[in-house]
Amino acid sequence: MNSFNWSEKSKAEWNNRANFWSGRSKDMWENGSRKDIIPFFNRHLHKNSKILDVGCGDGYGTYLLHSLGHYMVGVDISDEMITKAKERLEEVPFEVADIGELPFGKESMDAVLSINVLEWVEVPALALEELKRVLKTNGLFCAGILGPTAGPRMNGYRKVYGEKTISNSMMPWEFSQLAKELGFEVVDGFGVYKDGVTEKNYQGLPTQLKQALSFMWVFLLRKVGEKDG
């Protein structure tokens, strides 16, 4: 029986999807499901923050933050994605790296952006610990976690047959609990919904039920210092 190497499988699949992803990323960030993330994140950031974009893909989100004056660094597990990111934005350092082993020093980043990445790692807790390591105390972490209505969740469907997939089953409310347990506090957040869901469908609901209807939930977290925890 062949062993399943999560990192190698993930790298291969994202390399295969690089052209498809790159063809859609600009519209996704400017008009689609990610259009509100950069304005939301930027409202909370200090000027000229040093930001690590983890799972940067072809670098379009990185580009948007760079254009706002922030010092950006981008990493992705896919070398094809990183090639496209470098072609897009030569002045930003991009490199291939696994979220579980980032090539940066402890508390070297003012902020971290990671959109739809932690749903695609083998052990989210270990990945989040690594993000925490490179983030400064009181630094901000913007994470986007797919909700249960998101189409990409179907990438994990074969698990019902006992097959391994690169998609884990972590939901937004589980991520929220994990983040609190690992030393983050929730500062802000918002839901992204499919066209069929309107505000009247979720207005007044508890956060967890809002997340249950979401395509994606965007979290803004702060790394809590030891004296705060």
Query: Which pLDDT tens digits describe the chain residue by residue (229 residues)?
Result: 458 999 999 999 999 999 999 999 999 999 999 999 999 999 999 999 999 999 999 999 999 999 999 999 999 999 999 999 999 999 999 999 999 999 999 999 999 999 999 999 999 999 999 999 999 999 999 999 999 999 999 999 999 999 999 999 999 999 999 999 999 999 999 999 999 999 999 999 999 999 999 999 999 999 998 654 4
The structure tokens listed for 149 are 């209505």
Contact of 133 with 127, CB cutoff 8 Å: no
Fold of 6-223: Rossmann fold (3.40.50)
Alpha carbon 63 to its chain's center:
16
Task: Tell me the whole-structure pTM to 2 decimals.
Answer: 0.95
**CA dist 206 → 8, 103, 203, 209, 220 (Å):** 39, 39, 9, 6, 18
Q: For the chain, which residues make up each domain, given as ranges?
A: 6-223
Would you mind telling me the total number of residues written for the chain in this entry? 229
Contact of 42 with 64, CB cutoff 8 Å: no
Segment 24-75, tens digit of pLDDT: 999 999 999 999 999 999 999 999 999 999 999 999 999 999 999 999 999 9
Distance CA 96, CA 88 (A): 16
Q: In what order do the strands lie in the sheet with 94-96?
A: 94-96, 71-76, 50-54, 109-115, 135-146, 216-223, 184-192
